[in-house]
Amino acid sequence: MKKIMLVFGTRPEAIKMCPLVLELRGRSGFQTLVCVTGQHRQMLDSVLDAFGVAPDFDLSIMDSGQTLFDITAKVMSGVRDILAAERPDIVLVHGDTTTTFAAALACFYEGVAVGHVEAGLRTYNIRSPFPEEFNRQAVDIISDFSFAPTEAARENLLREGKRGVYVTGNTGIDALRTTVAADFTHPELSWAEGSRLVMLTAHRRENLGIPMRRIFAAIRRVVDEFQDLKVIYPVHMNPRVKEAADEMFGGHERIRLIEPLDVLDFHNFLARSYLILTDSGGIQEEAPSLGKPVLVLRDTTERPEGVAAGTLKLVGTEEAAVYDGFRQLVTDKAMYEAMSRASNPYGDGFASKRIADILEDLNGASAYGII
């Protein structure tokens, strides 16, 4: 029996890893352990509760004002101790967080094989997004098994000389198969009834400060012009994000600032929106499955497949560019219809099953000879 441990610590990671946890725990050939770091605490716990996933280990690293140095050191030491006690055959990490990087590095030092879920995403600008682009590239160097969500991600890895690369689709799409409900209701959605609902998320480190205020200024201008638009913004818990949101949107009658939503609510809000404005990576993958056009509030994206498919449009962070892109999508019906009907390049909702199938078939494939 293979002993597999999954390590994750943030809300986005949990959304994408919990379907895989459930798939692995449903198979008799695996002993499946879950280690959470608590890089996001409350937001992480709400996702675990939604999927019914109880972790075997919880590092609880979250501290007020913690830095990347703090997260990296705490995760590495915590994961090291668990590896020494449990000696898993393989550790699965996800994406590009600091939890992912530090856990993978701990495995590398301890000689434990690493499987990277959502491998191969690239902007090839080491500081955009920061620190995520560095994290994902470093983890891909370390990984023994790379589970790429798309063919383009696979090609990135092959160009870099990687072996053990598999195209699986994105596990975030798996989550949508269980979270979106036809009979979902919520008071905030009742508030937005009869309007064109715009869902907004903005929290990325590189957008904090002036870029975020430029973005918010552009959004407010468009909402002021079109009386049938209403915006719901689940505000990230970062105090700097809250400060900017309150400053730029506070008191606006058609922009509602709310607390972060749990994953079930959030996916259903997305499903009932007219369009989405975001700097999130995961939403760029989820929205195509829901038929929702997305304006990406970033200067780069590691998800070019969505742009090429036509479901995403990269508008940057300059006020004029965000204003023009948002206003055009609101007024140009042909553009809106084309984006909403674009094909989904991120999979069919069965990525977790594919990853589990691959892990079942691994025999002596690890670079360390562990599996």
pLDDT in tens, the chain (371 residues): 899 999 999 989 999 999 999 999 999 999 999 999 988 777 789 899 999 999 999 999 988 888 999 999 999 999 999 999 999 999 999 999 999 999 999 999 999 999 999 999 999 999 988 999 999 999 999 999 999 999 999 999 999 999 999 999 999 999 998 899 999 999 999 999 999 999 999 998 889 999 999 999 999 999 999 999 999 999 998 899 999 999 999 999 999 999 999 999 999 999 999 999 999 988 998 998 899 999 999 998 989 999 999 999 999 999 999 999 999 999 999 999 999 999 889 989 999 999 999 999 975 444 333 33
- Tokens (6 digits) for 166: 């598999």
What is the rounded CA–CA span in Å between residue 352 and residue 358? 10
pLDDT for position 137: 98
pLDDT for position 363: 53
For 3, the enclosing helix (H) or strand (E) is strand 2-8
Amino acid at 265: D
Nearest in space to 157 (alpha carbons), one of 171, 143, 176: 143
Is residue 149 reached through a cis peptide bond, with omega within 30 degrees of 0 on the bond before it? no
Strand arrangement, sheet containing 165-167: 57-58, 30-36, 2-8, 90-94, 113-117, 145-148, 165-167
Query: Interhelix angle for 132-142 vs 98-110, to 10°?
Result: 20
Measured over the CA atoms of residue 205, residue 120, residue 40 and residue 293, the dihedral's sign is positive
Query: Scanning the structure block, which residue is given the tokens 């499903």?
Result: 271
Q: Tell me the HSE value of 140 on the side-chain side, using a 13 A CA sphere.
A: 29
Domain spanning 185-340: CATH superfamily: Glycogen Phosphorylase B; (3.40.50.2000)
What is the rounded CA–CA span in Å between residue 16 and residue 99? 14
**Start and end residues for every CATH 3.40.50.2000 domain found in the chain:** 2-170+348-361, 185-340
Q: Which CATH architecture describes the domain 2-170+348-361? A: 3-Layer(aba) Sandwich (3.40)
pLDDT for position 145: 97
Residues assigned a catalytic role: 96, 118, 132, 203, 205, 236
Residues 6+ apart with CB under 8 A from 331: none
3-state secondary structure of 294: strand
- Tokens (6 digits) for 14: 């949990």
Q: Produce one character per residue of 82-110: b if its CB has 16 or more CB atoms within 10 Å, e if not.
A: bbeebebbbbbbbbbbbbbbbbbbbbbeb
pLDDT for position 370: 35
Query: Scanning the structure block, which residue is given the tokens 């491998």?
Result: 119
Q: Tell me the HSE value of 191 on the side-chain side, using a 13 A CA sphere.
A: 14
Q: What is the pLDDT of residues 287-346, one digit of tens each?
A: 988 999 999 999 989 899 999 999 999 999 999 999 999 999 999 999 999 999 998 899
pLDDT for position 17: 97
100 Rama class: left (phi>0) / alpha (psi -120 to 50) / beta: alpha
Nearest in space to 75 (alpha carbons), one of 58, 91, 59, 97: 59
